[in-house]
């Protein structure tokens, strides 16, 4: 189930029944040694009220280095092997001092979770992540190897050991019609062999720029001759591409993730993380136009790359899962790729030097349309996938980069048109990501970060049903540089508002913090 559909289903049970406001709490003059546990405004996963449920522990580990946790998964007993919902829950604890860390969880080689961690207080914090993983039910039906890693460093300075437990809860019942029949991984990292009766194929890519280098902040990079600390040959435009046997099959805008130490200011994120920071969502590519080609029983080369990354530079991870829906009445579904048309990529990044002030204006984008058909037991099905990407940004800074500001917007507009005997049916999804912020360092050596982030999506389905979501974050925090932690005199406010509206109902929740105290928690539409 999509995020929009799942949240709308939940919202239908909450319509008119808002969550109570948080009680007013005493706000200190500045951050102390402890603060509220991390919390997000994202909706919980809706679950069946009266279905039988079974819980399985998937992983339990303490991460202090880069040694993966390895274990074994066994399917639950007592809930059958068909489930109406499967929910993953991660419960974490950490205390002391630690950076934000990026992690993954694989079951049978399938990536079921990509996550980052909050930075702890000296006294310790706990946090929770919840994710609907029903789409991976095919993987969960058999015994599997489990691998999890949250790479970490523990020494005399960075003392936080990351303690996590991950469970799966299975709810017995009829599987949703949207659940795929198979979940595949790429053999050797690039080889895909699909069942010969595949009639729909979707690849999902967990693309993240990270590692502490410039690709973690790819949206700030500049090209020569601009004088700035993070360089890229063609500037900040990035595009995640997927190819099948060398043919461009999908393009997407990467989400501009901000981890919990991001923008030089962990005080922004101690309580409310940025959108998607704890639950990194995969990019989805509808590869159904290629199904006829893939169904020949031979392995095909599937490759993911990030356009715009300087040659030879690391910093991106892009693991791939492939979801397949099969024709139950045919052993072999034939078909053909009938068209693939891409525009010439546009990427203008104009540098304007000034007297101690510098500016880069970026205007970039790309279009791709692919089409193909499959001849199924219920007739010929033709699928046309169109995707249009655009990125505009204004980046300006001064000598020494004591002022560094960005105002950027990314749009990713996708349409999937299916014709199966009758009139064509089109689903359109428009995703918009925004980032507007600035870092300033004053003459008193005090660093201040002001930042607003937006994660918005609108889905229009056949018949005109429309759903939309809007996850908006805003923060403002400052602290004194180059002093011990207890002398930083840090202050900060942050807020998040998450809204989902659709035919099934609505969900809204608003959070606000000040100096690490949760001052507002309101729900209701």
N-to-C CA span, the chain: 22
Residue 292 domain-assigned? no
Distance separating alpha carbons of residues 293 and 216, to the nearest angstrom: 36
pLDDT tens by residue, the chain, 525 residues: 333 434 433 343 333 334 444 445 699 999 999 999 999 999 999 999 999 999 999 999 999 999 999 999 999 999 999 999 999 999 999 999 999 999 999 999 999 999 999 999 999 999 999 999 999 999 999 999 999 999 999 999 999 999 999 999 999 999 999 999 999 999 999 999 999 999 999 999 999 998 668 999 999 999 999 999 999 999 999 999 999 999 999 999 999 999 999 999 999 999 999 999 999 999 999 999 999 999 999 999 999 999 999 988 888 999 999 999 999 999 999 999 999 999 999 999 999 998 889 999 999 999 999 999 999 999 999 999 999 999 999 999 999 999 999 999 999 999 999 999 899 999 999 999 999 999 999 999 999 999 999 999 999 999 999 999 999 999 999 999 999 988 999 999 999 999 999 998 999 999 999 999 999 999 988
In this structure, is residue 157 part of a structural domain? yes
Describe the strand order of the beta sheet including 102-107 as a list of residue ranges. Answer: 69-73, 144-150, 102-107, 110-116
Q: Count of domains in the chain?
A: 1
Distance CA 365, CA 265 (A): 31
> What gap in Å lies between CA 338 and CA 450, rounded to an integer?
49
DSSP 8-state code for residue 463 = T
pLDDT of residue 312: 83
- Residue (of 323, 513, 338) closest to 419 by Cα position: 338
pTM for the predicted model, two decimal places: 0.94
- Between CA 294 and CA 283 the distance in angstroms is 20
Tell me if 167 is assigned to some domain.
yes
Distance between CA atoms of residues 170 and 406, nearest Å: 44
**pLDDT at residue 211, rounded to an integer:** 66
Q: In angstroms, rounded to a whole number, what is the distance separating the alpha carbons of residues 287 and 282?
A: 15
Query: Given this model, what pLDDT does residue 24 score?
Result: 52
Strand order in the sheet with 182-185: 182-185, 320-326, 198-205, 283-286
Residue 135 lies in a domain: yes
SS3 call for 471 = strand
For 219-286, give the DSSP string.
Answer: GG-B-TTS--SSB-TT-S--EEEEEETTEEEEEEPPP----TT-TT-GGGTSSSPPTTSSSPPPEEEE
Q: For residue 81, what are the domain limits?
A: 32-177
**Is 162 among the domain residues?**
yes
Q: What's the pLDDT score for residue 311?
A: 87
What digits encode the pLDDT tens for the residues 343-380? 999 999 999 998 889 999 999 999 999 999 999 999 99
Strand 300-307, strand 191-192: pairing:
antiparallel
| Residues 175-221: tens digit of each pLDDT | 999 999 999 999 999 999 999 999 999 999 999 998 668 999 999 99
Euclidean distance between CA atoms 14 and 1, whole angstroms: 19
Q: Coil, strand or helix: which one is 24?
A: coil
Q: Does residue 152 form part of some domain?
A: yes
380 within a domain of the structure (yes/no): no
CATH code of the domain covering residue 58: 2.60.120.230
Residue 75, in any domain of the structure: yes
């Amino acid at each position: 189930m999509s995020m929009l559909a799942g949240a709308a289903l939940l919202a239908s049970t909450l319509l008119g029944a808002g969550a109570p406001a948080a009680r007013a709490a005493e706000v200190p003059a500045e951050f102390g040694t402890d603060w509220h546990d991390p919390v997000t405004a994202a909706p919980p996963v809706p679950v069946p009220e009266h279905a039988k449920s079974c819980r399985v522990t998937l992983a339990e580990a303490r991460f202090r280095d880069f040694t993966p946790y390895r274990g074994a998964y066994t399917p639950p007993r007592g809930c059958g092997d068909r489930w109406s919902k499967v929910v993953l829950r991660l419960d974490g604890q950490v205390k002391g001092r630690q950076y934000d860390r990026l992690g993954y969880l694989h079951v049978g080689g399938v990536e079921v979770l990509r996550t980052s961690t909050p930075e702890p207080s000296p006294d310790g914090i706990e946090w929770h992540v919840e994710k609907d993983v029903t789409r991976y039910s095919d993987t969960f039906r058999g015994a599997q190897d489990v691998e999890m890693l949250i790479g970490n460093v523990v020494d005399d300075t960075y003392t936080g050991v990351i303690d996590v437990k991950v469970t799966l809860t299975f709810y017995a019942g009829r599987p949703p019609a949207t659940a795929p029949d198979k979940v595949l991984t790429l053999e050797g990292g690039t080889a895909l062999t699909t069942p010969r009766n595949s009639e729909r194929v979707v690849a999902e890519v967990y693309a993240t720029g990270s590692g502490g280098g410039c690709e973690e902040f790819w949206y700030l990079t500049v090209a020569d001759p601009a004088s700035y600390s993070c360089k890229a040959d063609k500037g900040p435009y990035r595009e995640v591409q997927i190819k099948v046997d060398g043919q461009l099959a999908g393009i997407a805008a990467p989400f501009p993730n901000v981890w919990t130490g991001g923008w030089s200011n962990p005080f922004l994120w101690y309580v409310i993380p940025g959108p998607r920071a704890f639950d990194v969502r995969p990019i989805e590519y509808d590869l159904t136009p290629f199904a006829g080609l893939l169904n020949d029983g031979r392995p095909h080369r599937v490759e993911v790359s990030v356009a715009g990354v300087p040659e030879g530079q690391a910093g991106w991870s892009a693991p791939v899962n492939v979801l397949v829906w099969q024709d139950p009445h045919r052993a072999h579904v034939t078909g053909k790729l009938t068209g693939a048309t891409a525009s010439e990529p546009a990427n203008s990044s104009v540098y304007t030097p000034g007297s101690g002030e510098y500016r880069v204006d970026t205007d970039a984008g790309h279009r791709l349309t692919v089409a193909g058909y499959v001849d199924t037991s219920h007739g010929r099905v033709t699928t046309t996938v169109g995707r249009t990407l655009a990125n505009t940004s204004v980046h300006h800074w001064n000598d020494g980069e004591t002022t560094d500001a960005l105002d950027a917007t990314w749009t990713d507009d996708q349409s999937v048109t299916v014709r199966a005997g009758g009139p064509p049916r089109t689903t359109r999804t428009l995703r918009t990501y925004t980032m507007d912020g600035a870092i300033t360092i004053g003459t008193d050596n005090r660093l201040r970060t002001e930042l607003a982030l937006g994660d918005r999506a609108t889905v229009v389905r056949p018949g005109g049903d429309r759903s939309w979501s809007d996850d908006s974050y805003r923060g403002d925090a400052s602290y004194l540089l180059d002093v011990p932690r207890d002398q930083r005199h840090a202050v900060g406010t942050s807020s998040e508002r998450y809204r989902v509206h659709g035919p099934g109902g609505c969900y809204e929740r608003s959070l606000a913090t000040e100096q690490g105290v949760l001052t507002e928690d309101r729900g209701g539409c």
